[in-house]
Copies of this chain bind each other. A is one copy, B any other.
Amino acid sequence: MKTAAGTEQLARLRETIDAELDRLTSGDLEAPEAIRRAVRYAVLGKGKRLRPILVMASGEALGGREEELLPAACAMEMIHAFSLVHDDLPALDDDDLRRGRATVHVEFGEAAAILAGDALLSLAFRTLAGDPGESGLASRRIAVIQTVADAVGLSGMIGGQAMDLLFEERMATGEELARIHRLKTGALITASCVAGGILAGGSAGEIETLRRYGTALGLAFQITDDILDVEGTAEQIGKSPGKDQRAGKATYPAIHGLEASRRMAARRIAEAVEAAAGLGDRATLLRTLAEIVEARRS
C-alpha cells in the first residue's frame, strides 16, 4: 500500500523532471540543430531518473520546496547523461545500445557525441547556478556546486571511470571493485542526496544523514544491478542479461558469490532505511526508494 502510493508519487515526479529537462534543453538556438538534437536525445530518453528523484526526495525530507529543488534535480540527470554519452564512446566502453536505443555516437556521430556530452556538463553547472538576479540562495548554490563538481571530477565519477578502464586486462579485486563503484556511481548518487539537503537548508547533521543514506542506497543499487545481470530477465534490466559475466567483468556476484552479494545488498538497504528513519516523517519517499531497490533485488 505504502509502495503503491510511493510509486504514483514517483511517476508524477518523473513527469515533472522530464518536463523541466525538456524546457531546459530547448533554448540555445544559436547552436547548430544537429548538436541540440544530440543533447536532447541523450538526456530525454527513457531512464529511471534516480539521481533527480534523490535530489527531490532528500530536499523534501527536510521541508524544501519543489521549485527550489527541481533545477538541481535536472542538473544531476544532465551529468548522468553526459557520463553515459562519453562512456559509450568507441574509445571507452564502445557500446552501441543504451536503454534499448542506439547510443548517441551511433545516432549522431562521434564528434557530436563528444560535444553533446561537453554541452550537457556545462549546462548542468549553468543550471545549478540558477537564474541571474536571484542571489538570495547564492551561498547554498555555491555549496551545491562545490559538492557536485567534487563528485564529478577526478576524485569522483571521472576518476572512477578512468580506474574502471585499468581493469580490462585483469579482474579487479573486491576492494578495487568497491572503490570503482564508490567513485564511478556512488559519488554522484550521494551528491544528489547532499545537494537536496543543502538546497533545503538542512543542518550539518541532517546533511550528514543524507550522505549516509545516499552512500548506502547507491551501493545497494549497484550490487542489485550486478545481481540482476546474473539473475534478471532482459525485460527487467533493459539490456541482455549476463553481459558483464560474459565480458569477464568484476561484479559483486563474480567476486563474492550470489548469496553473499544478496546479504551485502540487504545490509546496505537496512542502513539506508535507518538513515531515512533518522530524518523523521517527511522522509517517506526516501524510505520508498529504499524499498523499491530492495524489491528490485528479489
Contacts and interface: CB of A to CB of B under 8 A. Distances in A.
Interface of A: 27-32, 34-36, 39, 82, 86, 89, 91-92, 109-112, 114-115, 117-119, 121-123, 125-126, 128-130, 132, 135, 138-139, 141-143, 145-146, 149-150, 152-155, 158-159, 161-163, 165-166, 179, 183
A35 B166 CA distance: 11
Given A32-B166, A129-B145, 15 more contacts: A31-B154, A31-B155, A35-B154, A86-B114, A89-B114, A91-B109, A92-B115, A115-B158, A115-B161, A118-B118, A118-B158, A119-B159, A123-B149, A125-B149, A130-B142
Q: Which 5 pairs between the two chains have the least Cβ-Cβ distance?
A: A31-B159, A126-B149, A91-B110, A28-B154, A31-B154
Given A86-B114, A125-B145, A139-B138, A32 B162 contact: yes
A110 B31 CA distance: 26
A81 B142 CA distance: 24
A159 B118 contact: no
28 contacts: A28-B154, A28-B159, A31-B163, A32-B159, A32-B166, A34-B162, A35-B159, A91-B110, A91-B111, A112-B162, A115-B158, A115-B161, A117-B118, A119-B154, A119-B158, A121-B122, A122-B149, A123-B149, A125-B145, A125-B149, A126-B145, A126-B146, A126-B149, A126-B150, A129-B142, A129-B145, A130-B146, A135-B142
Contact of A154 (B30, B150, B159): B30
Contact of A36 (B30, B143, B149, B154): B154
A153 B123 contact: yes
Contacts of A162: 31-32, 34-35, 112, 115
A138 B129 CA distance: 11
A135 B142 CA distance: 8
Nearest to A35: B162
A18 to B, nearest CB: 20
A126 B155 CA distance: 12
Contacts of A132: 143, 146
